[in-house]
Amino acid sequence: METQPHAELDYYAALAALEWQVELGVAEAVLDEPVDCYALPDAAPQIHRPAAPAPAAEAPGRPALHVVPEAGPDPVAVARAAAAAAQTLPDLREAMAAYDLCDLKKGARNLVFADGTPGARVMIIGEAPGRDEDQIGRPFVGLAGQLLDRMLAAIGLSRAAPDALAAVYITNVLPWRPPGNRDPEPAEIAQMLPFLARHVELADPDLIVLMGNAACKAALGKAGILRLRGHWTEAFGRPALPMTHPAYLLRQPHAKREAWADLLEIRARLNG
């Protein structure tokens, strides 16, 4: 009996047969020779990577050039030289206004230099300007500044007093507002520290009040205002008393009792 050759499947019939086998769970094609799927190859396959391009040859007789990035000026050294050259408080203000190596200057509206009476017996050093201070150009003019004025008035002091015996002189560690009122960074404090030290020399107070952690970091190299407050120390060669910042007192009214004790310490020191 003569067998009839199988008719070739057309495309659609072949596709239908394949789909039917897939539904049955067929995952491998049937080859002419058996395949051991568990056998390991005799050698690992080699991965061919393109060769790295050869470096360009230098011109004959010319040494290879090595580009060294140019180092910028040392911000602290520049600040130290500018501060030392200032002979008066107006000179110092101009030197700080001309100092362009602190990035905070780029985002600030105003240089916040100082307020109060130069030559006052008490110099207050705060942390940095806030939004109100940046807009007006004077330190401690917002809610914290208004509380500070009331605190000072309670012991007979005022930034508006013309008499040095009853006046205060106020400045900050940083003259420009940090973005979002964030804490001053160590590099920013280091940059402005020469200006602050010269500021104290030219203002020449009898004693210094360090308001907040940033002021303590700059003047004492220490942090932890709740531990430092109320204890007399020395900063820039003068008696100094760390105190909690008025902004902290607005958030924690219960701490005003300790702040009052610190104010009485200042009054007692002034009375001799």
- pLDDT reading at 28 higher than 80: no
Domain 76-271 classification at class level: alpha beta
Indicate yes or no: pTM above 0.85: no
Contact between 145 and 100 under an 8 Å Cβ cutoff? The reply is no
d(CA 47, CA 101): 51
User: Which helix (H) or strand (E) element contains residue 233?
Assistant: strand 233-235
Contact between 99 and 82 under an 8 Å Cβ cutoff? The reply is yes
d(CA 168, CA 162): 9
Residues 6+ apart with CB under 8 A from 73: 101
In the chain, where are the structural domains located? 76-271
List the one residue out of 135, 165, 160 whose CA is nearest residue 148: 160
- pLDDT reading at 188 higher than 80: yes
Which residues does residue 234 pair with via DSSP β-bridges, in sequence order? Answer: 239
- pLDDT reading at 49 higher than 80: no
- pLDDT reading at 59 higher than 60: no
Q: What pLDDT was estimated at residue 18?
A: 72
> What is the token pair recorded at 234?
């020395």
Contact between 121 and 206 under an 8 Å Cβ cutoff? The reply is yes
Which amino acid, 263? L
Q: What pLDDT was estimated at residue 167?
A: 96
Average pLDDT across the chain, whole number: 87
Rg, Å, the chain Cα set: 37
Q: What pLDDT was estimated at residue 122?
A: 98
- 33-58 mean pLDDT: 58
